[in-house]
Amino acid sequence: MPTIAVLDYGIGNLRSAQKALERAGADAVLTSDAEVIHSANGVVLPGVGNFGKCIEALRKTGIDRIALDSIETGRPFLGICIGMQLLFEKSEESPNHQGLGVLPGEIRILPEGVKRPQMQWNSIHVRQPTPMLEGLDGEWLYFVHSYAADLSTNNEIVVATCSYGGDVVAAVQLDNIFATQFHPEKSSDAGRDFLQNFVAACKGR
């Protein structure tokens, strides 16, 4: 059973991600302790709410540096929802804040003509095969967001999209970094299957 550190920076319902990872077969620990995080087999950065407030909380707690250090070790690293968006360089939601910048590009508001936020189940289309999305092409997952990664500038790292006023980035992958706009912890059986894929990736670390 791999140990997975869920980064605790005091924003949102982080415990729901921890509990979902436990159900997927991990020893999941909600923590801000650098030693615990650095010894884990994998690391998860969840997030809900506002981009600016989340990045401020990350930096205030020092979790930003710990997250970057964890990525540099090559261990599996998962960003969820706002946790995904924080990995990019910046966001239209909070233009005066810089993201972690480990993924290229910008987070932009969802297109005109659709309800914001997208708060619904939506099916994903796997654009690039990856073990993280094994068995999930066409599956329905739960989304709650008004902003998403800019598809036009991030095409090479986009591994899945959903349809919402056009193609919207649902998941990205770059080396050991994987991130989802959907909430696997709220996505029933398909979300559990996704987290089991992530847990499996962590077992070899």
Kindly list the catalytic residues. Answer: 81, 183, 185
**Token digits for 85?**
């968006």
CA pair distance 40, 6, nearest whole angstrom: 10
**Token digits for 205?**
């670390």
Among the listed residues 54, 52, 26, the one whose alpha carbon sits nearest the alpha carbon of residue 40: 26
Question: What totals of helices (H) and strands (E) does the chain contain, helices first?
Answer: 6, 12
Query: What's the first-to-final CA gap in the chain, in angstroms?
Result: 11
Query: What is the side-by-side order of every strand in the sheet holding 27-31?
Result: 27-31, 3-7, 42-45, 77-80, 177-180, 167-174, 158-163, 118-126, 140-145
**Token digits for 183?**
């909430």
13: number of Cβ within 10 Å: 12
CA angle 164, 169, 174 (to 5 degrees): 170
